[in-house]
Amino acid sequence: MTAATPARPVATSASAAQAYIPAFDGLRGLLALGVVLSHFTLMTVNPFDDPTRPLAVWEHLCWYLGAPAVDAFFVLSGWVVAGSYLRHRSVWTFYLARLRRLYPLALLGALLGLLVARPLMSLIPAPATGHGLLAYLRLPLSGPDVWGSLSMGLLGEYRAARISPPLWSLAVEVYASLLTPLLVLGARRWGWAALWVSLPVCLALSSVFTAFVYLPLFLLGTLLVLAPLPGMTPRTRQAARGMALFGGALLFSRHLTGVNHDLMRWGAAVGAALLLLGLRGLDPAWLRSRAAQWLGQRSYALYATHFPVLMVGFAFLSPVLGPAWSAAAMVPAALLVADLAQRGADWLSGA
C-alpha cells in the first residue's frame, strides 16, 4: 500500500465511540508491559525521593515508561468507556458493568498487596528499600487504608502505595467511571469547550482530592470520538504514521525532560491522543497479532497483580541477581498470574 493510500474511513461520533478497534487492545498490552518494566527500577530507585542518586541508562529508560503509559491508559479509557456507556440502556446498567469489569481484579491486586507484598517486607533488609516504592510498604496501615483498598477508594482513603503502589490508578479509573455520564454529556453539549473549562476546575479541585487532576485525560479521550475536530482523521497512511510518531514522541518526552510533575500529564495526554488517532488510521498488523492481543486482553490483570509478584523475586532472588534483575526474572510469573487472574475474572462475570 503506497503512502498516498487513503486511511480507513472513520465513522461518525456515536458509532465511532462504540466501534471496536483491535489495535487498541494490542496497544493496551504494550502499555501494561511498560508499567511492569518501570517497576524494575522503582523497587529501589525514585529520583524524586533521592535526586542525588544518578540513574544508569537502562534505569532512566525504564523508569520513565510508567507515567506516560498510565497517561495513555487514561485517554484510551475515556475513549473506550464512553462507547461502553453509549451501549447501555441506563446509567445503572453501565455502572454495574464497570463494577464487574474493574472490581474483581482490583480486589485481587489489593489482597495480593496486603497478604503478599507487605508480609514480604520482613524478608528484605531496610537499607535496600530506602528510596524506591518498597519504602512505602513499611509504613503503618490504618483501618481506612484497608477499607479504602478493598473498595477501590470508595469507602475510605486509598493510600495505594502502602499496599501495592500501581493500584492508585485503578482507583482513578473508578472515579472516572462514576463521572462518565457527565463527561459524555459535556462532550456532546459543549464540545471542546468542556475540556478548556475542565482544566482550571480540575486543577483547583485537585488541591482537595488529587484524582481530579487526571480527569481531563478521560474527557480528552471522550472528546476524540464524540466531538471530533476537522483534521483529526488522517487522510493517508503517511499522515497517520506521522501523527502516531509525533504523538508517541510527545507522550514519552519525559525521557528527554526528566520531568514527572502531574501537570506534565496534560501535555503527555495530547501525545497519547495523537498516537491513538494515528494508530486508528494505520491499524498496524503487529498490534493485531496473536501475541499483542493476548497481552492486551490481560493488560488490566497484569497491571493489577504484577507488583506483588515482582516482589517475590526481589525478596528471594536479590542476593543472587541483584535488586532490579531479581524482579525482572519474575516477569514470566507475572504474566502467568495475570492469565489466571483474567480467566478467573471472566468466569465470575460469565464471559
Tell me the pLDDT tens digit for each residue of 72-121.
999 999 999 999 999 988 999 999 999 998 999 999 999 999 999 999 98
Least confident span in 7-16, 183-192, 320-329: 7-16
Which of the 8 DSSP states describes residue 184?
H
- pLDDT interval class at 215 (50, 70, 90): very high
Q: Which whole number is the average pLDDT over 288-311?
A: 95
Query: Rounded to an integer, what distance in angstroms lies between the CA atom of residue 20 and that of residue 7?
Result: 17
Q: Residue 237: pLDDT band by 50, 70, 90 thresholds?
A: very high
Count the Cβ atoms, other than its own, within 10 Å of residue 242: 14
Q: How many CA atoms lie within 13 Å of 217's alpha carbon, on the beta-carbon side?
A: 32
At residue 236, φ and ψ (nearest 5 deg) are: -130, 160
Q: Is the pLDDT of residue 302 over 50?
A: yes
For residues 163 and 117, give the distance between their C-alpha atoms in angstroms, rounded to a whole number: 7
Q: Tell whether the model's pLDDT for residue 11 goes beyond 50.
A: no
Greater pLDDT, 52 or 9: 52
| Burial state string for 263-289 with b = 16 or more CB within 10 A and e = fewer than 16 | ebbbebbbbbbbbbbbbbbbbbeebee
**Which pLDDT score is estimated for 12?**
44
Q: What is the CA radius of gyration of the chain?
A: 20
Cell numbers standing for residue 107: 480486589
With a cut of 90, say whether residue 144 has pLDDT above it.
no
- Non-local (6+) Cβ contacts of 166 within 8 A are 35, 39, 109, 160, 303, 304, 306, 307
- What's the pLDDT band for 3 if we cut at 50, 70, 90? very low
Range 108-137 burial, b when 16+ CB lie within 10 A, else e: bbbbbbbebbbebeeebeeeebebbbbbbb
pTM of the model: 0.91
What amino acid is encoded at 4 in this protein?
A
Q: Determine the pLDDT at residue 63.
A: 84
Confidence check: pLDDT of 260 > 80: no
Average pLDDT over the chain reads 87
